[in-house]
Amino acid sequence: MWKVAHRELRRILKKPSYTIILTVGVAISFLFFATIADEGQPHELPVAVVDLDGTYLSRRLCHELDATQAVNVVAVYHTHGDARSAMQRGEIFAFYEIPHGTYGEVLRFRAPSLELYTNQSYLLAGSLSYKELATMGKLAAGAVQREVLRKKGMDENLIMGLIQPIALDTHPIGNSKGSYQVYLMTTIIPGIIILMAMLQTAYVIGREQEERTVRGWMRTARGNAMKAFVGKILPYMVYYTLLLLVAEIIMYGPMHLPMSGSWGLMMVLALLSVLAAQSAACFLMGCVPDSSVAMSLTSAYGTLAFTMCGFSFPVDAMPVPMQVFSMLFPLRYYWLAMRDITLFDNGIGYVWPQLCVLAVFGLLLVGGAFVFGRQYERRVKC
Amino acid sequence: MLNRFISHLFDIWEIITAEVRRVFMDKTTLVIFFLATAVYPSLYYYIYHREMLQEMPVAVVDLSHSEASKRFVHKLDATPELAVTHRCPALLEAEQLLDFHQVNAIFLLPANYADCLNHNQTARITCFSDISSFLYYKNALLGGSNVMLDEMHHIELQHQTASSLDIHSAEVQEQPIGIDDIKLYNPSGGYASYFIPALLLLVIHQTLFFGICVLCGDANENRRALKYIPTRLRSRSIYRVTIGRMLCFLLIYIPITLFDLWIVPRIFGLPQLGSATHIVLFLLPFFIATICFSMTVGNLFARERMSILLCCLFFSVILFFMSGLVWPQSNMPRFWLASSYLFPSTPGILGYVRISSMGATLAQVRHEYLALWMQAGIYFITSTLSLQFMSKFKQ
């Protein structure tokens, strides 16, 4: 086994380009996700106002919207069509339409309505600008109401209780600011590293077949397919586990992403996830005879993991067969255990099932080696 | 003149037939071109077909035990977003449920809830929510605030009617300005309607890219690169090879595009507001740009059959984020925004989503359309130059 690992190291050193390129790839992805969402939540989203009223009230609403951090009024239109067209051009995510005579109706106690249009094709920008504009609209309404109550001579404390009898304080656990960066980076970066470990494992096994060096490889392992596979994936396992740990240390260290649990568990998790992904790749490479097709299937399986781990769209909302299907992805278990450790400060008592399943994925390695070994023997006999 | 033109057409035709043969002889390319483009859209639609998370389990800790608090809990349970599955006597118990992920949020109603309401003071409800997936948090927030607004309305009407106002003027005073919210293009805020149109285009982009790179890598690796280029076309006329290959992939992708962008959205009922003519006109430069971009990368960098798949697969995730559909372009750092325009997927996804889901016209996606034509022009030149460079290098 060590001899195979040694042989593999020599092969890597002879042709280090792929390992270097993949490492640079991890660095680029890291930089991308670290810088793209560093605001936490998008600020100053472009929105507009269609002012058909042109009074004190509409100007005040514009000013108040502009004063918030989340949105930025980039234009004031005078027709609905203009605003709608700007939305289709992608210039704004939402707009308020203030109908003609709104202020007059407020003064006459006729309860007019404002129209709030949001673009839900952009899920994040659409819902954020909706939330912000709806709140500002309510506040503006509150301000008018407060003026009415004050003129009636009501006590200032009671006014607040009347305007807002109930308040809802939300506390997102572990990520108190609701930062998008925390949510994206902690899953996508490990996901990319695990994907690379899986792909490179598949690739190097495929190369042995394409370069017709399988015989030399098996001879080094003395004909034992299990030893051949373990020796082969060992250098990559060590390398990608280290890479994953370095990424995690940077994220949870200098970048201060929330990490409340144990580092020991995170290390075990990193090692087992890389191993599980590699084992899955070995299984596919062992079972599918054409190495290029096997590699394409591994790629499809690897990219699907980002969806099936359930970080963007929860697995509980998927149809039942897909919930079962999600169990076949190591990244799913990484994500489940990672959120327990980093966000919920849960210890081994909570995450042992995930760690065990990841270890069971290791059996795929045995299966892949078995099938591969038998095929090899058959070929040698021929 | 005419004869020359006809001989050019024959050259191109020769390349097209040779290339089509190559594609259909290669199992991997067939898997990437035909299987991936058929399976991915259907699978993703199946995954997301419920569109959103419904009846998310929550725990309620009601310390007030009053009529008002019970009404609040009932309303929470009645929202489509939330289902009250556990009623806990103390916060500690609810926290344990949250730790074991049996619930995704806790609503805590304080002991003085009813008192505050009776004394016209603000009653504070606390919600602890799982944010490991943003949809959990969104559901808790949305369900919670909708019930809160409804309860506020109820309480204020009670106040006003108690002070002997008739219902209408009570409503006017309680809500001097109403807000009608109109959610455009994806009224339910569903995930499939948001994600699938972009995914369809990304799948087309990525399968073309990887398929072409596999073919280029195969030719480069087995020193067969020259075999596919007739000797008379190896110097100045090499652009005919580029045109021929481009037309070949374009032909192969006509049925695939019809399936992915016409049949799939209709089967699954995805939003389709755009006109077919505008979509076809928009997709033309997208295909030219994508094919030429892939040929450039393939000619220059694909040393082995699968090397580009190995090195660039992770980029699919980044390309999706670069499109600006998740994180808005207005908030992207300039460097990434500029680099995102190196890839045809960025203007492609943005423009396609606007035309097909938002009913924009070609004039409204002018910016993206121009970007695609520019990319098409530039990458056509680079792919021709790279092919010439490779053929000289190999000779």
Terminal Cα-to-Cα distance of chain B (whole angstroms): 31
Question: What pLDDT, in 10s, does the model give residues A25-67?
Answer: 999 999 999 998 887 788 888 888 888 888 877 787 788 777 7
B157 in Cβ contact with B174 (< 8 Å):
yes
B234 in Cβ contact with B12 (< 8 Å):
no
- Say if A60 falls within a structural domain: yes
| Residue where the block lists tokens 């407060």 | A146
User: Where does a domain end: A101, A132, A163?
Assistant: A163
Q: Write down the pLDDT at residue B288.
A: 96
CATH of the domain at A137: 3.40.1710.10
Q: Write down the pLDDT at residue B337.
A: 92
B274 in Cβ contact with B360 (< 8 Å):
yes
Alpha-carbon gap, residue A346 to B236, rounded angstroms: 67
- Say if A374 falls within a structural domain: yes
Interfacial A residues in 120-149 facing B (CB < 8 Å): 120-127, 130, 134, 137-138, 140-141, 144-145, 148
CA-based nearest residue to B172, from A264, A110, A351, A50: A110
Q: How far is B324 from chain A (nearest CA, A)?
A: 9
Copy the structure tokens of residue A26: 């991890």
For residue A196, the number of C-alpha atoms closer than 13 Å in the C-beta half-sphere is 30
Sheet holding A94-98, edge to edge: A71-77, A45-51, A94-98, A113-119, B178-184
Contact A196 B314 (CB under 8 A): yes
Alpha-carbon gap, residue A140 to A113, rounded angstroms: 12
- Say if A173 falls within a structural domain: no
Any B CB within 8 A of A190 CB: no
Q: How far is B67 from chain A (nearest CA, A)?
A: 15
A175 in Cβ contact with A343 (< 8 Å):
yes
- Say if A172 falls within a structural domain: no
Any A CB within 8 A of B185 CB: yes
Closest residue in B to A91 (Cα) is B330
Contact B159 A114 (CB under 8 A): no
Same domain, A114 and A151: yes
Neighbours of B119 (CB within 10 A): 11
A60 burial class (0-12, 13-18, 19+ CB within 10 angstroms)?
middle
Q: Tell me how many residue pairs between chain A and chain B have CB atoms under 8 A apart.
A: 328
Alpha-carbon gap, residue A283 to A277, rounded angstroms: 10
Same domain, A204 and A290: yes
Residues (pLDDT < 50) of chain B are none
Same domain, A228 and A374: yes
Report, as an integer, the average pLDDT of A237-247. 95
| Residue where the block lists tokens 């097209």 | B16
Alpha-carbon gap, residue A21 to A170, rounded angstroms: 43
Q: How far is B380 from chain A (nearest CA, A)?
A: 26
Tell me the pairing of strands B105-109 and B123-130. antiparallel
- Say if A171 falls within a structural domain: no
Neighbours of B54 (CB within 10 A): 14
Contact B177 A44 (CB under 8 A): no
Interfacial A residues in 103-122 facing B (CB < 8 Å): 106, 109-122
Q: Write down the pLDDT at residue B264.
A: 86
Any B CB within 8 A of A199 CB: yes
Query: Each residue of B175-186: b (16+ CB within 10 Å) or e?
Result: bbbebeeebbbb
Cβ-Cβ contacts under 8 Å for A197 (sequence gap 6 or more): A236, A237, A240, A274, A277, A278
Any A CB within 8 A of B225 CB: no
User: Where does a domain end: A105, A138, A163?
Assistant: A163
- Say if A169 falls within a structural domain: no
Same domain, A202 and A347: yes
Same domain, A55 and A30: no
Q: Which among B310, B319, B356, B365 is the top mutation candidate for probing chain A, defined by the most A β-carbons within 10 Å of its own β-carbon?
A: B310
Q: How far is B60 from chain A (nearest CA, A)?
A: 14
CA-based nearest residue to A233, from A171, A300, A278, A183: A278
Q: How far is CA B62 from CA A305, A348, B140, B324, in A?
A: 39, 31, 17, 42
B324 in Cβ contact with B350 (< 8 Å):
yes
- Say if A126 falls within a structural domain: yes
Report, as an integer, the average pLDDT of A221-230. 87
B375 in Cβ contact with B289 (< 8 Å):
yes
Question: Quick one: how far is CA A313 from the chain centroid?
Answer: 10
CA-based nearest residue to B267, from B48, B45, B47, B50: B45
Copy the structure tokens of residue B300: 């220059």
Alpha-carbon gap, residue A84 to A87, rounded angstroms: 5
B166 burial class (0-12, 13-18, 19+ CB within 10 angstroms)?
exposed
Same domain, A272 and A367: yes
Chain B partners within 8 Å of A121 (Cβ): 184-186, 193-194, 325, 353-354, 357-358
Same domain, A190 and A329: yes
Question: What pLDDT, in 10s, does the model give residues A55-106?
Answer: 877 787 788 777 777 788 888 888 999 998 888 888 888 888 888 888 787 7
Alpha-carbon gap, residue A37 to B336, rounded angstroms: 11
Q: Write down the pLDDT at residue A209.
A: 85
Kindly report the three-state secondary structure assignment for every residue of A303-326: HHHHHHCCCCCCHHHCCHHHHHHH
For residue A355, the number of C-alpha atoms closer than 13 Å in the C-beta half-sphere is 17
Q: Write down the pLDDT at residue B129.
A: 92
- The pTM of the full predicted model, rounded to 2 decimals, is 0.90
Same domain, A19 and A151: no
| Count of domains for chain A | 2
Alpha-carbon gap, residue B349 to A104, rounded angstroms: 45
Q: Which of B306, B314, B359 sits opposite A206 (nearest CB)?
A: B306
Contact B141 A121 (CB under 8 A): no
Question: In 3-state terms, what secondary structure has residue B85?
Answer: strand
Contact B122 A311 (CB under 8 A): no
Q: Which range (A19-33, A110-124, A159-173, A344-358) has the least confidence? A: A159-173
Cα Rg, chain A, nearest whole Å: 29
Kindly provide the residue ranges of all beta strands, DSSP E only, lying in chain A, ordered along the sequence: 45-51, 71-77, 94-98, 113-119, 166-173
What residue spans in chain B does CATH classification 3.40.1710.10 cover?
A: 56-174
> At B347, which amino acid appears?
P
For helices B191-221 and B345-358, what crossing angle results, to 10°?
150
Q: Under CATH, which number does the domain B56-174 receive? A: 3.40.1710.10
The DSSP secondary-structure symbol of A288 reads -
- Say if A170 falls within a structural domain: no
Alpha-carbon gap, residue B3 to B9, rounded angstroms: 10
Supply the range of the domain harboring residue A145. 45-163
Same domain, A319 and A282: yes
CA-based nearest residue to B316, from B210, B166, B225, B157: B210
Q: How far is B257 from chain A (nearest CA, A)?
A: 20
CA dihedral B214, B307, A335, B270 (to 10 degrees): -20
Chain B partners within 8 Å of A93 (Cβ): 328
